[in-house]
Amino acid sequence: AKGNPFESDLKEWDNALNLNFRAIYYLTNQILPLITEQDFGAIINISSIAGQMTYKGGEIYCATKHALKAYSNCLFESVREKNIKVTTLYPGYVNTDMGRGENLDESKMIQTEDIAEVVNGFLKLPITACSTEITIRPQRTPYK
């Protein structure tokens, strides 16, 4: 989606909001009753580093990722007393179809297995602690 204010339109905003925010909101609301019955659980929202920063032309994408950040933080406050952990993961360049580019070295990007390891680490946190935000960036710049 084009993000700059001179080229974007409401349809592009709606498409991005549907994919990056409304779908997560809807799925969370569908599963939350089942999780709360157990009196424990975890909700992990995978966002993007764009949920913590902004950039020229990123109006639509960044806005949807910032919306997810606010939603996740509020959700944590709403369900924490039910022993439900909520975190948002903010990965930088990940070696996926969406993240690849001509000027990027895939071997220096975050690998999908790295994301799985971070999620697993979050799930292993003791019941008394919750990391509500996790940022993961490539150790070395992936730019060629």
Question: What digits encode the pLDDT tens for the residues 79-92?
Answer: 999 999 999 999 99
Catalytic residues: 61
Distant-in-sequence, close-in-space partners of 96: CB < 8 Å, separation ≥ 6: 112
Tens digits of residue pLDDT in 108-135:
999 999 999 999 999 999 999 999 999 9
Q: If you average pLDDT over every residue of the chain, what do you get?
A: 94
Residues 119 and 44 sit within 8 Å (Cβ to Cβ): yes
* pTM exceeds 0.85, yes or no: yes
Kind and range of the H or E element at 123? helix 112-123
**Predicted confidence (pLDDT) at residue 53 exceeds the cutoff of 80:** yes
Q: In which region does residue 58 sit, left (phi positive, over 0), alpha (psi from -120 to 50) or beta (all else)? A: alpha
**Predicted confidence (pLDDT) at residue 141 exceeds the cutoff of 90:** yes
**Size of the chain, expressed as the number of residues it contains:** 144
pLDDT at 1: 53
Cα(2)–Cα(8) distance, rounded to whole angstroms? 5
Q: Is 71 helix (H, G, I), strand (E, B) or coil?
A: helix
To the nearest whole percent, how much of the chain has pLDDT over 70?
98
Cα(77)–Cα(84) distance, rounded to whole angstroms? 10
Residues 61 and 50 sit within 8 Å (Cβ to Cβ): yes
Residue 120 tokens read as 């697993």
- pLDDT category at 102 given cuts 50, 70, 90 is confident
